[in-house]
């Protein structure tokens, strides 16, 4: 069975997206990130998962999102020993049957034959440089390289596969990039900094940070030379998108997604001096004094920020992701850490628009006609649709873009989650119909939020940063507090 033809596929997707945009604009709703683009962005972000062992990998790293019935059941990335596709088979086995896989690189023949044999439904991959890199071959004009031989093997596997293997990028909703930029600047982490530093120029910092991030991501995910990109697409079986119109359209979608990812990345700033502190002492917790853990925590918070753009709440997007840390490292590039579940705030499954109220307290005076009692919170969805059980003997962490409310705090506490990472601007407050008073008094669960570090508890960090604006931020002695 041949692979899905790209022009027909993209045109169909385009029609669906335009209809969604028209409907969205008619309702006056905020733009929303499609499932396909969300899974694609998450696979790109997983390729950047912070793990010191990754430095030993000579091939291109691959990020992978495993989806079953629209539910994420696995987030993986290449390790020093195994490719992402191999890791997925080891981790999930026969559970991969009828799953959709989203790769940040086209998988090599070693991975492809295994995931195809597992009976997956569809394999989608980023239309750039594949896992076994072809870029160097075209620069060196190498006609008989392992990469090109592998590309031919992949094409043969694809042509004889029952699974659909394709690239699938959808155009972003109207004003999506502008919406992401505006909401990223309003992120609670950045707002905390502005509150503590009146002289802090948020616009300048954000612009410089994104410029650096964008350069980094473009170098990693895009092929700057258009002709080289076309040759690589032809080699990996995408000749049908190399015509000028289709190719320009494809490049535009790729550039938009990379720009969006860079923007979201900047919403959770990276400092060279932040550390985690305990409420009951001035000492940093041992597990949080290493740079690798801090980078992991930040990586998960960006995952939650991406989830927030899948919200069905037209005003406030909230994302939550739950990770656990096992007793020993496993085959995954994520080390001992593995995904438990993720979610965003939305109305109950199966409901349609206008089934429930859409307005908040500023738009509707009648409390009975407000939306708050009907929206399922991000933390609740993350727990409901988790793909793994929470084990009491393991450290389980939830990363939430907003402070958990009184409705969610007891759920987090009783689910066995050990640590909460969140923005805390609403902690201790009552806002309209939502109370955040239980969060501050939560017992038995350690809480991590942005705070100003005491002057007698400064710890020098070895984290290296490339952004000159960070020098200004370091002087403010911002830290993560426990």
Give the catalytic positions in this structure: 379
Whether residue 378 contacts residue 400, with contact meaning beta carbons closer than 8 Å, is answered with yes
> How many other β-carbons are positioned within 10 Å of the β-carbon of residue 464?
7
Class of residue 392 by CB neighbours under 10 A (exposed 0-12, middle 13-18, buried 19+): exposed
Q: How far apart are CA 414 and CA 402, in angstroms?
A: 19
Pairing mode of beta strands 446-452, 478-481: antiparallel
∠ Cα 178 181 186 (to 5°): 130
∠ Cα 254 259 264 (to 5°): 125
The values of phi and psi at residue 220, to 5°, are: -85, -45
∠ Cα 11 221 423 (to 5°): 95
The closest alpha carbon to 298, from 71, 463, 425, belongs to 463
Partners of 435 in beta bridges: 430
Pairing mode of beta strands 100-103, 122-125: parallel
Separate counts of helices (H) and strands (E) for the chain: 16, 14
Pairing mode of beta strands 395-400, 419-422: parallel
The 8-class DSSP code of residue 131 comes to: S
Whether residue 322 contacts residue 316, with contact meaning beta carbons closer than 8 Å, is answered with no
> How many other β-carbons are positioned within 10 Å of the β-carbon of residue 433?
13
Q: How far apart are CA 352 and CA 371, in angstroms?
A: 14
List the structure tokens of 389: 């059980």
Pairing mode of beta strands 478-481, 276-277: parallel
DSSP for 107-122, written as a single string: --HHHHHHHHHTT-SE
Class of residue 177 by CB neighbours under 10 A (exposed 0-12, middle 13-18, buried 19+): middle
∠ Cα 454 455 460 (to 5°): 100
The closest alpha carbon to 173, from 344, 4, 35, 316, belongs to 35
């Amino acid at each position: 069975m041949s692979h899905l033809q790209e022009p027909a596929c993209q045109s169909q997707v385009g029609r669906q997206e335009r209809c969604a945009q028209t409907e969205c604009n008619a309702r006056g709703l905020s733009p929303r990130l499609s499932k396909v683009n969300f899974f694609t962005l998450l696979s790109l972000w997983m390729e950047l998962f912070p793990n010191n062992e990754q430095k030993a990998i000579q091939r291109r790293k691959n990020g992978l999102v495993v989806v079953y019935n629209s539910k994420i059941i696995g987030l993986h990335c290449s390790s020093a020993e195994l490719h992402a596709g191999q890791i997925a088979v080891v981790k999930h086995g026969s559970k991969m049957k009828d799953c959709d896989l989203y790769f940040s690189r086209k998988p090599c023949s070693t991975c492809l034959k295994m995931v195809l044999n597992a009976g997956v439904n569809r394999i989608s991959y980023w239309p750039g440089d594949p896992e076994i890199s072809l870029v160097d071959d075209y620069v060196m004009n190498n006609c008989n390289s392992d990469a090109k031989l592998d590309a031919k093997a992949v094409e043969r596997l694809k042509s004889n596969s029952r699974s659909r293997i394709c690239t699938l990028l959808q155009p972003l909703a109207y004003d999506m990039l502008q919406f992401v930029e505006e909401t990223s600047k309003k992120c609670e982490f950045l707002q905390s900094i502005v509150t503590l530093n009146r002289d802090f120029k948020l616009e300048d910092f954000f612009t410089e940070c994104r410029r650096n991030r964008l350069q980094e991501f473009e170098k990693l995910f895009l092929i700057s030379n258009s002709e080289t990109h076309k040759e690589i697409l032809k080699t990996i079986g995408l000749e049908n998108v190399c015509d000028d119109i289709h190719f320009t359209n494809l490049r535009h979608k790729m550039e938009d997604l990379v720009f969006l990812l860079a923007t979201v990345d900047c919403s959770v700033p990276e400092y060279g001096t932040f550390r985690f502190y305990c409420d009951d002492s001035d000492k940093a917790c041992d597990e949080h004094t290493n740079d690798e853990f801090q980078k992991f925590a930040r990586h998960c918070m960006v995952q939650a920020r991406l989830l927030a753009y899948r919200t069905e709440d037209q005003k406030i997007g909230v994302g939550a992701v739950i990770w656990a840390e096992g007793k020993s490292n496993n085959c995954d590039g994520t080390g001992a850490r593995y995904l438990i579940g993720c979610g965003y705030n939305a109305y109950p499954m199966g409901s349609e628009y206008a089934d429930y109220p859409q307005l908040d307290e500023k738009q509707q005076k009648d409390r009975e006609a407000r939306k708050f009692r009907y929206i399922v919170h991000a933390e609740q969805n993350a727990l409901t649709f988790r793909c793994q059980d929470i084990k009491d003997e393991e450290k389980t962490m939830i990363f939430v873009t907003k402070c958990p409310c009184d409705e969610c705090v007891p759920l987090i506490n009783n689910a066995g989650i050990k640590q909460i990472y969140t923005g805390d601007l609403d902690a201790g407050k009552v806002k309209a119909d939502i109370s955040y008073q239980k969060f501050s008094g939560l017992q038995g669960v350690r809480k991590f939020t942005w705070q100003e570090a005491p002057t007698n508890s400064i710890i020098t960090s070895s984290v290296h940063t490339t952004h000159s604006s960070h020098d200004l931020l370091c002087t403010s002695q911002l830290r993560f507090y426990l």
